[in-house]
Amino acid sequence: MEKETDVVIIGTGAAGLFCALQLPEDKKITIITKEDAENSDSFLAQGGICVLRSEEDYNAYFEDTMKAGHYKNNKDSVETMIKSSREIIDLLITYGVEFELKDGKLAYTREGGHSQPRILFHEDITGKEITGKLLTQARSRNNIKIYEHMEMIDVLCKDNICYGIVMVDKQGQISTVKAKDTVFACGGIGGLYHHSTNFAHLTGDGIAIALRHRIQLQDVNFVQIHPTTLYSEKPGRRFLISESVRGEGAVLYNNNMERFVDELLPRDVVTAAIETQMEKDGKPYVWLSMEHIPKEDILGHFPNIYQRCLEEGYDVTKECIPVVPGQHYFMGGIQSDLEGRTSMKCLYAIGETSCNGVHGANRLASNSLLESLVFARRAALNISIEQVSSNSANEEGKDIDLFKPENYTDVDKIHQENKKLVQQEIERMKKEYEQQYNNDIKCR
């Protein structure tokens, strides 16, 4: 593996891959991932990707995003995301991504929190379609090298400048890669939770490293719970029942088969209603019914959900399925600006591990893929500009020996300490946020 590279990217999700593809082909790019390249949460996204359909929809889309985020969003980030959306979709299509068509034109669906349909999709495996095509493109580039089963455990840094990363392979061998620029695209924190739709290996590694090196974080208490995951007593990742199912007409029932909530309210509102209903019913789940969706639409739009439920013993065309809320998305993360820059020079953060404030306190459905791609592209463009104008900080330090092997003799201990660090910080900021909220109430 390379000892030096122009850009090292941690993560093979949509953000990391798209960033790599937007960088100039004369740059040497190294990508590492903890597991197989396909084992990123981006591959699991079911519903779709938002896009601004027309200028007439801008104000409504902006308001939907702000309202879902409880107006805690960064308005500049929201504006940037929405106005960049059509360009992103056009780029994806050039990479071979296929979206659902109707009469030869792009088809749109609607999900909870949206005032109208503005979501492009590919069956119920939109994330797999997009991220899979990006991975194929990345593997075809001679300047991009992808290394699987390589885990970042630290950054090489001095005087708040990042010079690359420290990593470990599956045999326990420690090594380093020096880079002019480093990009964290290492995903979310689902592996810290008992019930989560995320892969278990996504444990907030980037957040832990940021805490160790005093890299600025933002809103790490904003953790989204998805209202509908398929209830199971089996251990492991929970299977997501896409928001699009409710967008197309599925309804939620209590134990008496009575509807108890507007299914198209924002996720946190629906989640709260489900949790209240479960407590009333004394059950660990509620029922989701697709009875109002034509069978041909279920088989055409949601074939993966249909098949997975069959495997669990449920035929969604004939019966209800049990669903329960589960941890789904991390709105907080490493604080980043509109170009993905962090508080450490030469270090960028994009995708779910970053926080530019676009989602606020609660992410609007299907904004995640769009947000990841918009700011991944902006980070890549900024890296290109910075490297062309000469990254003097990194050039001056590239020969400094920053690697201290004695710091990494017990990788298992580092893993446990990292998880504890992230969990403690989430709880600390939750309490801080609640205290601030209570003080604001008292002052009114």
Q: Active-site positions? A: 267
* Nearest C-alpha neighbor of 366 from the set 59, 117, 6, 80: 117
* Nearest C-alpha neighbor of 32 from the set 133, 142, 152: 152
Let me know how long the chain is.
Answer: 444
Nearest-angstrom CA–CA distance, 290 and 126:
20
Sign (positive/negative) of CA torsion 298, 86, 372, 29? positive
Tokens of 17: 């891959």
Tokens of 79: 């504006």
107's CB contacts (< 8 A; 6+ apart) are: 99, 100, 101, 120, 121
412, amino acid identity: D
Chain centre distance of CA 62: 20
Sign (positive/negative) of CA torsion 30, 135, 368, 205? negative
128's CB contacts (< 8 A; 6+ apart) are: 43, 44, 45, 122
DSSP notation for 234-249: SSSPPPB--HHHHHTT
Structure-derived torsion over alpha carbons of residues 417, 356, 124, 320, reported in degrees to the nearest 10: 70
Give the DSSP H or E segment for 81: helix 75-94
Q: What share of the chain is helix, strand, coil (3-state, %, to 5)?
A: 40, 20, 40
Chain centre distance of CA 147: 21
Residues 161-182 as b or e (16 or more Cβ within 10 Å = b): bbbbbbbbeeeeebebbbbbbb
* Nearest C-alpha neighbor of 212 from the set 262, 253, 162: 162
* Nearest C-alpha neighbor of 163 from the set 419, 345, 285: 345
370, amino acid identity: L
Contact 140, 323 (CB under 8 A): no
Quickly list H helices, 323-367: none
Report in angstroms the alpha-carbon separations of 291 from 121, 244, 260, 298. 22, 15, 16, 10
